[in-house]
Amino acid sequence: HHRSEFLKKEIKRLKKEKNAIILAHYYQEAAIQDLADFVGDSLELSRKAVETQADLIVFAGVHFMAETAKILNPTKKVVLPDLAAGCSLSDNCTAAAFQDFRNRYPDHIAITYINCSAEVKALSDIVCTSANAKKIIESFPRSQPIIFAPDKNLGKYLINVTGRKLVLWDGSCVVHEAFSMAKLLDVWKLYPHAKLIAHPESESHILKIARFVGSTSAMLRFVKEDTHQLYIVATEACILHQMQQVVPNKILIPAPANEDNTCACSECAFMKLNTLEKLYQAMVKEKPEILMDPLILKNALKPIQKMLSLS
C-alpha cells in the first residue's frame, strides 16, 4: 500500500517535471486510469496523440497503440511501460503473411483494423477502429472489393451492418472470444431484465443477442444515455471502472468468461502487463521507448491519416 501511494505521488510529480502526458486505454487497471491525463478508445487515443503538446507520451495500453502514437508524433518520445504488451490480433498477423493475403486479392483494397503492427498498417490502404469501421467501409463504392484484417469477428459484424462482401483475415481477440454462453445464461437467470451490450470483437452468437454493439467509448455513451438500470457488459472488465463512475446508480455486470480465462470475467493479460511500478520506471528512465524504422513509420502514417480525415 505504501509503495503504491509513493508511486502515484511520484508519477504525478514526474508528469509535471517532464511535461509528460499519460494516455490510457479503458482496459488498463483502475489505478492507471486514475492517473491518466486522458482515458479513451483506440480512435480517441490516436486523436489525442496528434493534439498533444507534451514532450513525452507515456502510453498505458498495448504495443500497437503506442506505435500509432509514435507514427503520429515521430519527433516525440513515446514510452510503453512494458514492450511485451502485445495483442492476439496484432501478434497473429505478420507483415509477410499479410502481404501474401493481399497478393491473393490484387483487385481488393485493404481496410485494416488499428489492432495490427506498423508493418501491416504500412501495407494497408486505410486503417479503421471499431468506432469508425462502418463509416470507413461505406466511404468506398459498393463495387469496390475489400479485404479486412485482422479481426474476423469484427469483420463478420461489419458484413452484417454494411451488407458488403468483405474477404476476412482469420484472426480474433482472445479476450472477446472467452465469453461463456452457459455462464452468461446463468447470470441472465439471476437478472432476467439485464440488457446485454457488447464490443464488436465478440463472437457472432454474443452480438446476435446484444441490445447494443459498439466500441468501448460508444458502450460508455450508451449506458449514460439509455434509461435502463441493469446491464451485462461484454468487453474487457476494466471498462467498468469508468462506466460505473459515469452511471453510479446503475448495475453493471461484466460478462462471464469460460474457465480457460485467468479471471472470472474477461481481462486482457496483455493490457495488464502495464503496472503502476512499470509506469513509474518508464517515466523515470524514459524507456522502454517505441523506436521504429523511418520508412515503416512514413508508410504507416498515410493509412492512419486517411482514417483520421474520414472520421
67 interacts with ligand SF4 by CB under 6 A: no
Q: Among the candidate windows 124-132, 138-146, 203-211, 241-249, which touches ligand 13P by CB under 6 A?
A: 124-132
Q: Which of residues 215-244 bind ligand SF4 (CB under 6 A)?
A: 236
Q: Which of residues 71-130 bind ligand SF4 (CB under 6 A)?
A: 87-89, 115
Q: Among the candidate windows 94-102, 152-160, 219-227, 265-273, which touches ligand SF4 by CB under 6 A?
A: 265-273
Rounded Cα distance between 39 and 95, Å, is 29
> Which one among 29, 119, 201, 267 touches ligand 13P, defined by CB under 6 A?
201
Residue 87 annotated as lining a ligand binding site: yes
**Residues touching ligand 13P, count (CB under 6 A):** 13
Q: Which of residues 93-122 bind ligand 13P (CB under 6 A)?
A: 115
216 interacts with ligand 13P by CB under 6 A: yes
Q: Among the candidate windows 29-37, 48-56, 96-104, 170-178, which touches ligand SF4 by CB under 6 A?
A: 170-178
268 interacts with ligand SF4 by CB under 6 A: yes
Task: Name the binder of 279 from ligand 13P, ligand SF4, none, CB < 5-8 A by kind.
Answer: none
> Which residues here bind ligand SF4, judged by CB under 6 A?
27, 62, 87-89, 115, 173-175, 201, 236, 268, 270-271
